[in-house]
Amino acid sequence: MKTLLIIISLLLIAIVLLQSGKASDSSQIITGGNTVLMSNLKERGAEKFISRLTYALGFLFIIISLILSL
């Protein structure tokens, strides 16, 4: 079970590093880039898959951590 947690954590780190930089878009709101604020951007294709995989791995990480703590 501990090895599964290590594998999931390494996959989670790799997937988070593969995601596109959304933080740089939010910094433009402060500097006056209103186009990013008002635009309705949706994830498509690979971005959507990576985002959902991140949520799933994060959920598995939390559940396995809770099981191991008991």
CB 8 within 8 A of CB 57: yes
CA gap 36, 52 in Å, rounded: 22
Question: pTM surpassing 0.85?
Answer: no
pLDDT tens per residue across span 49-68: 888 999 999 999 999 999 99
Taking only the tens place, the pLDDT of each residue in 2-12 is 999 999 999 99
Backbone φ and ψ for 44, nearest 5 degrees, come out as: -135, 150
Q: In one letter, which amino acid is 25?
A: D
Cα–Cα dist 19/50, whole Å: 7
Residue 51, C-beta contacts closer than 8 angstroms, at least 6 positions apart: 19, 43
